[in-house]
């Protein structure tokens, strides 16, 4: 999970796993990456990693330090970009550019599938979300759109699972 600070990455991790994960509306509430396993169904178990939130205009030394915490993104099967949909539209665009610039800086290639989760739609007065491949709108807090989000994750990850493997894949133990 990547995204600008306070987009709701930790809330999404909590919603996906059911684990008590620290959530706060302060920048850098998540300093160290936090990973949790989750069985998505259809034989797919994922390791979801919450990363530090991006911010603009960080001093070079801090930018370098935060980039080092994001290196594991290069090994991801899918990068989920969590976006705060309740922010003003110009901020959504600016923040998305900052996230993409940092992903480019750490070498995340276009070969890694990307799924964008427009979070916090429950804070908007009305929602008219387009049906676009690679984009899901919802709310980590209220649960709106999470089933669609998981369906999209399964769709993206399904080709990477072995078609010859017919053994059952039960959920991991709690």
> How many angstroms separate the Cα of 131 from the Cα of each of 37, 127, 136, 148, 152?
28, 12, 8, 11, 12
Give 81's contacts (C-beta < 8 A, 6+ positions apart). 2, 3, 96, 99, 114, 115, 116, 117
From 170, 112, 115, select the one nearest 145 (Cα to Cα). Answer: 115
Radius of gyration from C-alpha coordinates of the chain: 16
Q: Give the Cα separation of 104 and 23 in Å (integer).
A: 27
Give 144's contacts (C-beta < 8 A, 6+ positions apart). 121, 122, 138
**Other residues' Cβ atoms within 10 Å of the Cβ of residue 43:** 17
The whole-number mean pLDDT for each consecutive block of 10 residues of the chain, a chain of 174 residues, reads 87 80 54 74 83 69 66 85 92 90 81 90 76 82 92 84 41 44
Global pTM?
0.79
In this predicted structure, what is the pLDDT of residue 164? 40
pLDDT tens string 37-63: 888 888 888 888 887 776 766 666 666
The string over 106-126, giving b where at least 16 C-beta atoms fall within 10 Å of a residue's C-beta and e elsewhere, is eebeeeebbbbbbbbbbeeee
In this predicted structure, what is the pLDDT of residue 23? 54
In this predicted structure, what is the pLDDT of residue 47? 84
């Amino acid at each position: 999970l990547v995204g600008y600070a306070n987009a709701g990455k930790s809330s999404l991790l909590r919603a996906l796993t059911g684990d008590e994960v620290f959530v706060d509306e302060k920048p850098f509430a998540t300093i160290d990456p936090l990973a949790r396993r989750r069985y998505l169904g259809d034989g797919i178990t994922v390791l979801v990693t919450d990363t530090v939130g991006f911010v603009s205009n960080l001093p070079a030394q801090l930018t370098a330090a935060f980039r080092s915490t994001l290196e594991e993104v290069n090994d991801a099967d899918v990068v989920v970009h969590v976006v705060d949909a309740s922010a003003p539209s110009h901020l959504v665009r600016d923040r998305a550019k900052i996230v993409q610039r940092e992903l480019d800086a750490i070498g995340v290639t276009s070969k890694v599938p990307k799924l964008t989760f427009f979070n916090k739609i429950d804070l908007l007065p009305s929602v008219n979300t387009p049906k676009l491949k690679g984009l899901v709108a919802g709310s980590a807090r209220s649960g709106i759109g999470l089933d669609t989000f998981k369906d999209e994750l399964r769709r993206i990850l399904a080709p990477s699972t072995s078609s010859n493997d017919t053994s059952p894949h039960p959920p991991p133990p709690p």
